[in-house]
Structures are given as C-alpha cells and as structure tokens.
Chains A and B, each alone.
Chain A
Amino acid sequence: MTPKPATDQREYLSTDSDWSFALLEDYDREIARIAKSYGLDTYPNQIEIISAEQMMDAYSSVGMPIGYNHWSYGKQFLATQKSYQRGQMGLAYEIVINSDPCIAYLMEENTMPMQALVIAHACYGHNSFFKGNYLFQTWTDASSIIDYLMFAKHYVRKCEERYGNEEVERVLDACHSLQNYGVDRYRRPRPISAAEEKLRQEEREDQMQRQINDLWRTLPTHSTDEVKNKPRKFPEEPQENLLYFLEKNAPLLAPWQRELVRIVRKISQYFYPQRQTQVMNEGWATFWHYTLLNHLYDEGKVTDGFMMEVLASHANVVHQPSFDSPHYSGINPYALGFNMFRDIKRICENPTAEDRDWFPDIAGKDWLETLHFAMHNFKDESFVQQFLSPHLMREFHLFSIYDDDERAHYEVEAIHNDSGYRKVREMLARQYDLSVREPNIQVWAVDLQGDRSMTLRHTMQDGTPLSEDVHEVLKHLNYLWGFDIHLETYKDGKQVNKQSCPAMTVAH
C-alpha cells in the first residue's frame, strides 16, 4: 500500500455525491490507470447510462442487449416490474455484457461513489475476466456476439412474418426447454461472426436438408453385401448436445426451424461459461472494485465519505448469512469468490505453516501473478478444488451434509476440521460442477429402419431422479423430432425406468 499523503497534498476528484459525465470520465480515467498498474487487461469499455425502466428492460432480456422477441422475456419483465414497483427488490447497480467493446449499463440513480464502484467492478473486474478466462476464450467470441444477436433477432422476425408468431413460438419454446443441452463439452467450437453466419446460413439450409434426406433414404439398397444390410447404429457415439443433434438430424424440421434451433443453441453456448464461473467472475470483480477503490483512496483522490459509502455497499454484497438464517439462500458467490481471491493474496504474502503445507506452489509467490493465473485457468469447480484453504473454510464455518433418501436422518459428514477439510472442499467443488448439477442425458439410438423413434439415455447420478418437468420437455422434444421419444433411466448399468412420449400403447 502506498503511504497516505499529507492532507494538503490531496486532490479530491469530487466531494459531493452527484455524478456528471465529466466526473464519470475523470473517475474512469483514474480507475483505468490503477487497473493497468495491476495488469488488468480489458476490452475497451462502452459505459451506458440508463434509467430504471431501461434497467428493467435489460433485466428481462437476461442480459442480452438485443434479444429476439419471445413471451418468456415478457414474463420476466412483468415479474421484475411488479416486484420493483412494490419495492420488493432494488435493481442491480449495473449489468455488464461480455462483448467487445464491453458494454456496461449504469443506472442514473446511482450516486457518484456507486458509479465509481460499478465502473471498477464491471468495466475493469468483469471485463478483464471476460477477456482472460479460458472458458470465455474458448466458448465465446466477444467481438461478434452483438452482431450475432442482431442476426438472430432479424432472423426470428423474418420467420414470424413468414410462418406466423405461433409457429415460431412453438419451436422456440421447445428449444428453450433444451437450452442446457446445447453444448459439446468436450469439443471446442469455432468462433462465429455474423457476416459469415449470414452468408453461410442459406448455403447451410440446402446442404443440411440434403444430408438429412440421405440419412432417411427409404429406397431399397440393391447391394448383396451382408454387412451393408446389417442395421446401422445411429448415432455411432452417444450425443450429449441434443440441440445440435436435432438441428442436424431431425427428419421433419423445415430449414428455418433448424436455423431457430441453431440460434438457441448458439446463444446458450454463449452463456455456457457464465454458468460455470459465477463464483470466480463475481469474486474477481468484487476483489478488484475493492482493491482499485482502496488504492484510489490511498492516493488521496477520494474523500472519507466516498469510501464509507463504497465500503457499506461492498459489505452488503459480500455478506454471507448462515444456513439457519431466514436470509440464507445458498452460498453467496460474491462472498465466496471475493474471500477466496483475498485469501490467495494472503497466502502469497503472509503464508502460515498450514498454508505452506497445503499450497506449497503458491505460498510466498508474487500474489498478482498467482491471482491472474487463477483467473485465467480455472472454472468454479476447479477453482474451489484448487484454492479453497482450510483458513477460509474455518472462516465460513463450512460443513457438509449427507442426505440419503433411504435414511431418516441427515448426516454431518464433514466439518471445518483437520479430518474434514478435504471432504468439505471436494463436496463444495462438486456443487459447482455442471455435470453433477445437471442430469446426464444423451441421445443413445435412433431407430432408422423402424419407427424412427429416438431413444435417450439418462445415467443416474447418486440415485437422483429427474424432476417432473421432464414429461413436458419430452413433449417438446417429440415436437422437434417428429417421432416417438423414449427416455431410459440407467442406474449402475441397469435400466430402472422408461418414459415415452407419446405415452406407449400396448397395441404397438
């Protein structure tokens, strides 16, 4: 920390709580300077000042600056509007979009200290995370997302004009129900750009339709070759990306319907990294607004009052209620993430014997370098697994509960003590693992020669059943596929359940 200069040397950027565009620029410049000194590499910022109503709009389009029209966004809007007007909730101070330039929405109601906090948090914290983290680098292309969303919006509108709102809505509803199954986890996508996308789209329509026709060829083959007449297994490997599979192989979809499936898939892919890095992303941004603004204060650029307001707000954000508190709603990602990054810094700067034991690689190393390394190369699951220290587990008083539906009691399986650290950490990491959080469902087989039904396989994890919703989802799937859908649930290699849509009849 830089030593505090004497009072007479201080030059406050501002002294009252009102903001102006000139002041925003001043603060942004100062924060940018300090961020640079900490090595934060960001996209250019596009800071947009908006009103509360506009913030509600931004909310309801799930953070997309441009979205195609759909009733579910309207529902979101009505819900937001109602709870806002009744004072049940405040609006967020900001929304930030992973794009290049990085768009951040700031509310006009914010005071100057809040605007500074938000600029540090969103425009330098989140922004550098978007640019640096490997998941974002792999799965999203910040420079083209706005263009792609624009393309999607126009395309959906064109379809509505041509085929009617109801038809388009039906396809989108169905796709939305599968939107968490639109990513190839183990294969990396090629970046997309809107211009290319538009060019390729028409080409693709023809091409795809031709391929599908080939797959469903019903002409008898004249070959006498035994091997060829054997039923072909399709797909050859199980497919986890349901939307992709439908887009490419559903027999009855029209080209425009395939394109809609693709749009939903692409957008869900864009959000895929955000679903896996909530703790890290918020933690990183919170760590940096805290650090940058404290630095600003230490330089004597802001007043005590400014800092008080910032800290009060910061304390609210990183508050973690206990599990038995009425305010408890899960582990607060801001609190966990912020404290983990702080803890890493502490381990680097002042490691205890315990830290040296647990983190030999980072104890005593350069903290800034370590922090950047962590930000670049991890997601929530691996971040917790790698960096959650016993010290922090004690501070959070973490404990792990084992809940077996065949037993009458919960069991406390591990707490924050020597014998429990590893278990607690592992369980917490699992909680953030998407492959544990979401049911494992894959396209297993398609009956090419027979009734064209599609069989999905659900591999049960820890005996957890699927929620009731799955019936509705199967209906949507049935609509997209056009033929029967079977969902088989396997537990430890044995089939334990089978659901079909439409429901199976005996006469079959």
Chain B
Amino acid sequence: MSYIIDRRLNGKNKSMVNRQRFLRRYNQHIKEAVADAVTRRSITDMERGEQISIPTRNTHEPVISHGQGGKQHRVFPGNKEFNTGDQLEKPKGGGGGSGSGKASNQGEGEDDFRFFITKEEFLKYLFDDLELPNMIKKTLSQSKEFKTRRGGFVSEGTPNNLSVVRSLRNAHARRIGMGAGKRRRIRELTATIDALLADGAGDSNADQINALREEILSLEKKLKRLPFIDQLDLRYRNQIKVPTPTSKAVMFCLMDVSGSMTQDVKDLAKRFYLLLYLFLEKNYEHIEIVFIRHHTSAKEVTEEEFFYSRETGGTIVSSALKLMNNIVQERYLSGGWNIYGAQASDGDNWDDDSPLCASILAEQLLPAIQHFAYIEITPHEHQALWYAYQSVAKAYSQQFATAQIRNPGDIFPVFRELFAKERYKEAV
C-alpha cells in the first residue's frame, strides 16, 4: 500500500532557523568578513551578498575518534601488480598519506568553511557596525518606493476598475464583426428577391421568394441573438507600479590625504561616505559622486585613487572647498541637482587657512547645497579647523553637521540631522 503525496508546495525554508542559528554563532567572523568586504568594495557596490569563509577548525564539531598511527590493516580494491609481502614506500610528509582511506575526509585542500550571505544580511551586518537605529536600517535596506499609475487597459481586473466606455466600444465592434456575414447574406437575399420580383414572373417564383424570405427572417433572428455584451468585451483600467520619480543628487567626498592620514583613518572615512551614499541612494534616482582629495592643493580623482593612493605634504583645506565650489558652479548649478558634501579629515590644517574655510563654506557653498557633513577622525584635541567650523555650524544648524569620530559607531549621529529632516522623524 503506497500513498503518493505532493509536498512541493510545502514550505521550502525549513532550514532557515538552523541557518540563522549558525550565522548568530559565527557573528564575529561574519562581521569581520563584512568589514573586509567593505574595504574592498566600491562605495556604490554595497548591495549584494558576500562569500564568508570561516576557518574549518572553528566550525568543527569534535567527536571521539582514532587519530593517525598505530598498527593498521586496510583493504583496498583494484590491485594490479602487488603480491603478498611487497614492501611499499610510505608517502613523505607524515601521517596516512594518499593510501589511507582517511585522506579523502580532509581532502581537496579546503581549509575554510565557505558560504554565502544575501544582500540583506550583508547590509544588516554593515549597519550593525555603524549602530544605525532600526528604522533607518529598514528604510536603507528596503527597495524603492512605488506609486501606482494608470497604464492602459487590460482584459482582467476588479469590477471597480471596469472601463464602461472601452467595454461597450468592444462590444459594439464585436457585434459588427460577428454579424457581418449574416448581414451580407441578407443583403444578397433581398437583392435576389428584388430581382425575382422585377422579373415579373411573380407567381411562378412565389415559392422561391417565400423560401428566401424565410431565410432572411431566420438570419435576422440570429442577428438579434448576438449578445449585447460579453465577458470578452470587458476592459479594465490597468494600474502599474512605477518607482517614485525622484531627482538627481551629487555627493562630494572631500578628504585630506596628507601624510598624517593613515589607512585606518581612511577606512573609517570610507564608512562615512558609504553611509551617506546609501542614504542618498534611497532618496534619489540618480546619484553622481565626486571625489576630491587634497593636501596643499586639491584634485578631483577616481574612487580608487581617493582611498588608496598615498600623498605627503602639508594641508590646506580651503583648496578642496574651492575646487568643490568650482565644480558645483560648472556642472551642478542648473538641472535640479541636490548637492551633498561630506568631508573627512584628521583635523590638521594650515593655521591661517581655517577662517578661510569657514567663510567659503558659509558664504559660497552652504547657500547652494543641501547638506554638508564634516567628520574629524582623531582621538586628540580639536584644532583650529574644528573651531572655525563650529561657528558655521551654529549659523547653519539645519544644513551643516560636524562630529568627532573615534570608531564607526560615532558616524551615524552626524547624519541624525539629515535623517531627521527628511521623512525619518519617527526613527530618531
């Protein structure tokens, strides 16, 4: 007796819980792998999964078993030339070697346990690192918002979307189409009757005429029986989802690359730009990024150069602000660009330059842009630039945020204002 059951529609994610347990257990490893990936990837390339590898010894489940050594007998298939009593060289490099049945257990040289995490999980670990409030996490990892819009007509839908005009027009067309043959026939028959009557030999043709008239009658009956409206005729207004139209944004990343900025500091800065990018990405359809690095003079560079090339020399911050201003004037003043600036530095600046920075920012940049954020990545005392910026921050508290940062968790508060200003009020 057998029962055959179709289980294909049952849930297929039975292992989800166990998978989550595993991820939680190796949280630390995964976080490290995500942190590595962040350093490796471009700012614009955060929204995909990642391969995680964990050293096998960490995921290994110990059991009591025999080790190598001792006196073993092993049976193998496929003897070709061995005879009893043959002595065979043991493979070098200790242990059982290729001959032992155990070789295959550990074989293939895979030292790491590897698996993939999804895009959502990747972002989750990233956000954990940045200590984002939950609401923000959600909005950032969600896909685009849609609004529904009319999109033509379709033949299936709900009654409230029924388009009466379209449906009746279809019904009319159908009735014309379906009756065409019969009407033509009626016209032909009428013509024949007229011709017969015109012949004058009315009596002799009376039977024929009657037959023809009967046929006309039956055709007319059939015509009447054509349904006035049919399921086929119904048309519904179609609603389609379109991404909410949002405008364009440009993000300026400014960074000091003088000798005092170490790679660690740059990596921290990268998180800062990254977070701004992710935020902008959710709000704007199209984003451009401009990277400006500076020491004593500023230069527009690629992302790669921005984060990883080394420079030495003094620091004149105003050069970068000037360049940013020039670029804004040249490229982004018209065309509805939303402009965001993000500056990272270790706080060093040429002393006389700081007041100049503040004035460029206050007088030229801030009036033209949406938001400017400045982070100072240093465990030390603030320097002149910080104090100069504080005065600007007072005047433009809505648009300008500053913060001192020691670890990634400090980054988010910089954006608090920014997020709060938009539609995230409830979260912060």
Report A's interface with B, CB cutoff 8 A.
21, 24-25, 28, 32, 44-51, 53-54, 56-57, 60-61, 69-79, 81-82, 101, 105, 108, 123, 165, 169, 173, 176-181, 320-325, 328-331, 396-405, 408-417, 419-420, 424, 427-428, 430-431, 437-439, 441, 460-470, 472-473, 476
Interface of A is mostly: mixed
Nearest 8 A-B pairs (CB), nearest first?
Answer: A322-B78, A464-B70, A74-B22, A74-B18, A472-B62, A323-B76, A78-B115, A463-B70
B395 at the interface (CB under 8 A from A): no
A466 surroundings in chain B (CB, below 8 A): 64-67
A-B CB contact pairs (8 Å), 19 listed: A28-B2, A44-B3, A45-B2, A48-B6, A54-B7, A69-B18, A79-B115, A81-B115, A176-B63, A177-B63, A180-B64, A331-B77, A399-B82, A400-B75, A401-B74, A415-B79, A463-B69, A465-B68, A470-B62
**Which candidate, B9-17, B39-47, B411-419, is the interface stretch facing chain A?**
B9-17
Of chain A, the residue at the smallest CB distance from B5 is A48
Q: Within residues 114 to 162 of chain B, which ones have a CB less than 8 A from any CB in chain A?
A: 114-116
Residues of chain B at interface, number, CB under 8 A: 62
Of chain A, the residue at the smallest CB distance from B87 is A409
Of chain B, the residue at the smallest CB distance from A403 is B72
Query: Closest CB-CB distance, A468 to chain B, in whole Å?
Result: 7
- The answer to whether B7 touches A469, judged by C-beta atoms less than 8 angstroms apart, is no
**B65: contacting residue among A57, A79, A439, CB under 8 A:** A439
Given contacts A28-B2, A427-B73, 4 further A-B contacts (CB under 8 A): A44-B3, A54-B10, A403-B90, A465-B67
B61 at the interface (CB under 8 A from A): yes
A431 surroundings in chain B (CB, below 8 A): 73-75
- The answer to whether A47 touches B69, judged by C-beta atoms less than 8 angstroms apart, is no
- The answer to whether A398 touches B76, judged by C-beta atoms less than 8 angstroms apart, is yes
Q: Within residues 261 to 316 of chain B, which ones have a CB less than 8 A from any CB in chain A?
A: none
The CA of A470 and the CA of B66, in the complex, are separated in Å by 9
- The answer to whether B59 touches A75, judged by C-beta atoms less than 8 angstroms apart, is yes
B86 at the interface (CB under 8 A from A): yes
B84 at the interface (CB under 8 A from A): yes
B207 surroundings in chain A (CB, below 8 A): none
- Max chain A CB contacts within 10 Å: which of B79, B86, B104, B114? B79
Of chain A, the residue at the smallest CB distance from B24 is A71
Query: Closest CB-CB distance, B189 to chain A, in whole Å?
Result: 54
Query: Closest CB-CB distance, B47 to chain A, in whole Å?
Result: 20
Query: Closest CB-CB distance, B152 to chain A, in whole Å?
Result: 36
- The answer to whether A411 touches B21, judged by C-beta atoms less than 8 angstroms apart, is no
B425 at the interface (CB under 8 A from A): no
- The answer to whether B19 touches A464, judged by C-beta atoms less than 8 angstroms apart, is no
B23 at the interface (CB under 8 A from A): yes
- The answer to whether B69 touches A473, judged by C-beta atoms less than 8 angstroms apart, is no
Query: Closest CB-CB distance, A416 to chain B, in whole Å?
Result: 7
B76 surroundings in chain A (CB, below 8 A): 323, 331, 398-401
Given contacts A399-B82, A401-B99, A419-B84, contact A82 B5 (CB under 8 A): no
- The answer to whether B62 touches A476, judged by C-beta atoms less than 8 angstroms apart, is yes
The CA of A220 and the CA of B18, in the complex, are separated in Å by 49
Query: Closest CB-CB distance, A178 to chain B, in whole Å?
Result: 7
Of chain A, the residue at the smallest CB distance from B22 is A74
